[in-house]
Amino acid sequence: MILYSLLDRALPRSFLAKVLAVVVLLGQGPMLAVVALYGAGLLSAPLATPAVAAAFGVGLFGTALGLAAILRPVARLEATLAAFERGEAPRLSLPETHGDEVGRLMARAATLIRTTERRIDAAERQADRDPLTGLLNRRGFERALAARRGMRERGALLMLDLDHFKAVNDTHGHDEGDRVLREAASLLCEHMRRPDLAARFGGEEFVVYLSGIGREPALQVAERMRMAVEDRIAVAGRPQTASFGVAQWPVAVPFSEVLKRADAAVYEAKSQGRNCVRFAHVAAARDRVTPARVTLPGAGPSTAERATEDGSTDPEAAPRWRPGQTRGIGEAPDTAREDAPAASPQGGDAAGRDRMMRGAA
């Protein structure tokens, strides 16, 4: 675009004037030079004919080169639009300072591309967000997580499910249920750091990725979130609770596997009384969940437990495990162990023998 920029200084408002200048200077200039030399007597008659032919050829070649050079902005515009159509970044940006017809066309094309890119980005962000809570949805969570895990950092995956949420919607209406979901999302964000990610996976399920964190800190974060939900969200005067599952995430394990383990931990929490935290260990080399003992410091009994201690007989309201006690996923609750048959003098029950054999192995 060198020739175009040079001509733009002399003819800034008209592209047609630039084209005419190229034709006159490069196309007709050699011919006019031959005529001037012949008229001045500097060119003899026998040399006039070959000189005219040479001037014509030079002028034709010069005109072609000049027009190709002055049309370079059009070629750049076409290449930029083609790259944008393919979804690629253009190699060269379009200038927006020229005032002729082609310059204004390049400026408007650049504005159109920027506006379209902003709208596409806004649409993608909207498509990646849950409209009710403002958190990422599953699509947005997996996209953001793929970029984060591409750096091969360790972390933990936390999943939670609001307890008895269907009853909230059925009894108090969907407006009340929506309020609970929004408040739960807000509480999760309060306990997250900047590099962490949170998403609503649908219904009353939420997932949090804790970046660069180990098992014990992840369990402590989950316990703080559990207590915050119970203490600060109420429905008709009764505390709303949530069941949590935490899975450590080794670098080499795919997201689907870790999510499955975290979901299994949530199921374990639900089956053992709700309103508690369970941990699932994800083994990189073996496709199974191993028992892991969990100790969460500094937490008192939940509201449901306090109600049971005060004389409530509602079995659903009272978790069988209190924060501060230890139990890993896969271990039976205390009541189940109390109800287990005693070992026989001859060597115990079959299940006990199996456990002893596995321990010895």
> Where in the sequence numbering do the catalytic residues fall?
204
Helix axis angle, 215-232 relative to 174-190, nearest 10°? 140
CB 113 within 8 A of CB 27: no
Amino acid at 65: L
Measured CA to CA, the distance from residue 180 to residue 169 in angstroms comes to 10
Longest dimension (CA), the chain: 135
* Location of structure tokens 């999943």: 159
Look at the block and give the residue holding tokens 């920029």: 5
Backbone angles phi, psi at 199, to 5 degrees: -150, 150
Contact present, 160 and 223 (Cβ < 8 Å):
no
Cα–Cα distance list, 74 to 37, 69, 97 (Å): 38, 10, 15
Helix (H) / strand (E) containing 264: helix 255-271
- Which residue bears the tokens 């739960």? 184
CA angle 304, 321, 295 (to 5 degrees): 125
Q: Are 251 and 151 in contact (CB under 8 A)?
A: no
Integer angstrom CA distances of residue 89 from 64, 93, 103, 179: 31, 9, 21, 43
* DSSP sequence for 147-180: HHHTT---EEEEEEEETTHHHHHHHH-HHHHHHH
